[in-house]
Amino acid sequence: MTGGESGESVTLDLLKHKMAEFAKERDWDQFHSPRNLLLALVGEVGELSEIFQWKGEVPKGLPDWKEEEKVHLGEELSDVLLYLVRLSDICGVDLGKAALRKVELNAIKYPVGSKGSAKRPSNNNSNNGDSESS
């Protein structure tokens, strides 16, 4: 994925550094506690949810959406991502590594043999916030 006019590659690390710089320049580090960032993240998830609220199921690719609706969606998705990246940074979690590890754990938990089934293993009592289903 590339971004911006410069065509620079967008990585979690780039976003992390841009967010850190943004906060530092505004003296906002004092407000960026884990709790504050988590609440901001949840607020942005709410704003993202509002876009889909009352629309019912929408087809993949959002073919019937107006351009400004898609732009707005991109903005709210970005708000969620940026707060998630910032929260991870402030908590000292390497989000990229943690996410890759989680994908590997999910692959073990849901082997390829379970292809096509949305069913979760019935003996799964762990509540570790799986994110493998789309």
**Site residues, Mg ion (CB under 5 A):** 44, 47, 76, 79
Provide the minimum distance between the beta carbon of 113 and Mg ion in the complex, in angstroms, as a whole number: 40
Kindly tell me which of 77 and 98 has the beta carbon lying closer to Mg ion.
77
Kindly tell me which of 49 and 124 has the beta carbon lying closer to Mg ion.
49
CA dihedral 34, 35, 40, 41 (to 10 degrees): 60
Provide the minimum distance between the beta carbon of 133 and Mg ion in the complex, in angstroms, as a whole number: 25
Using CB atoms, what's the residue nearest to Mg ion? 79
Bridge partners (DSSP) of residue 2 are 9
Provide the minimum distance between the beta carbon of 40 and Mg ion in the complex, in angstroms, as a whole number: 9
* Residue reference for tokens 């990229």: 96
Burial of residue 112 (number of CB atoms within 10 Å: 0-12, 13-18, 19+): exposed
